[in-house]
């Protein structure tokens, strides 16, 4: 019997057709709603989603411009995800609903993941650690937080119009 390294291309295609294409780091992809940890910018767990509205944190993360791919756990009720879906659309994100049964809905599972197309190696990614200023915040992000995240040239050219 041939080992994996000794299998011909035809044997590998047959096995892939029978068993499916092997995944790289399947547990990691299952945890992060189908993406790799190195691409993740922000995560919101099911527990965090139910405790508070983290929509301002999602908006702040999308405005950073590093990651614009938003993966939503589609196994959760639509009412829970709807505000995040709207925020993603309004702020230039691209969303994907993940509805495979492998994406669980227990409190430790992830409900929302913001990621980039390539590795960005962001840390921390948990919403409570990354955006503590939004803990207990109302549903609209404070203007001061938006101004702090703007670049030098934006502040230089837009300072006059602001009070």
What's the CA gap between 93 and 91, in Å, rounded? 6
Instruction: Report, at the CATH architecture level, how domain 24-158 is classified.
Output: 2-Layer Sandwich (3.30)
Amino acid 64: pLDDT: 95
For residue 65, give the DSSP letter. T
Is the alpha carbon torsion for 90, 93, 96, 98 positive or negative? negative
Across residues 102-124, what is the average pLDDT?
Answer: 95
- Tens-place pLDDT, residues 57-66: 999 999 999 9
Cα distances (angstroms) measured from residue 112 to each of 4, 85, 109: 36, 10, 9
- Please state which of the ranges 17-26, 47-56, 121-130 shows the lowest mean pLDDT: 17-26
Per-residue tokens: 49: 């989603």
Across residues 24-48, what is the average pLDDT?
Answer: 93
pTM for this prediction: 0.72
Q: Angle, nearest 10°, between helix axes 55-64 and 78-90? A: 30
């Amino acid at each position: 019997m041939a080992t994996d390294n000794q299998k011909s291309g035809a044997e590998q295609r047959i096995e892939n057709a029978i068993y499916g294409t092997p995944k790289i780091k399947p547990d990691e992809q299952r945890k992060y709603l189908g993406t790799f940890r190195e691409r993740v910018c922000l995560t919101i767990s099911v527990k965090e989603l139910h405790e508070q509205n983290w929509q301002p944190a999602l908006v702040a993360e999308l405005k950073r411009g590093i990651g614009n791919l938003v993966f939503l756990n589609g196994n959760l009720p639509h009412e829970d995800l709807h505000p995040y879906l709207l925020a993603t659309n309004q702020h230039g994100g691209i969303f994907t609903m993940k509805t495979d049964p492998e994406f669980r809905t227990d409190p430790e599972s992830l409900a929302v993941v913001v990621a980039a197309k390539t590795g960005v190696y962001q840390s921390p990614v948990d919403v409570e650690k990354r955006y503590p200023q939004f803990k207990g915040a109302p549903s609209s992000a404070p203007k001061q937080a938006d101004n702090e995240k703007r670049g030098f040239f934006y502040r230089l050219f837009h300072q006059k119009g602001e009070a």
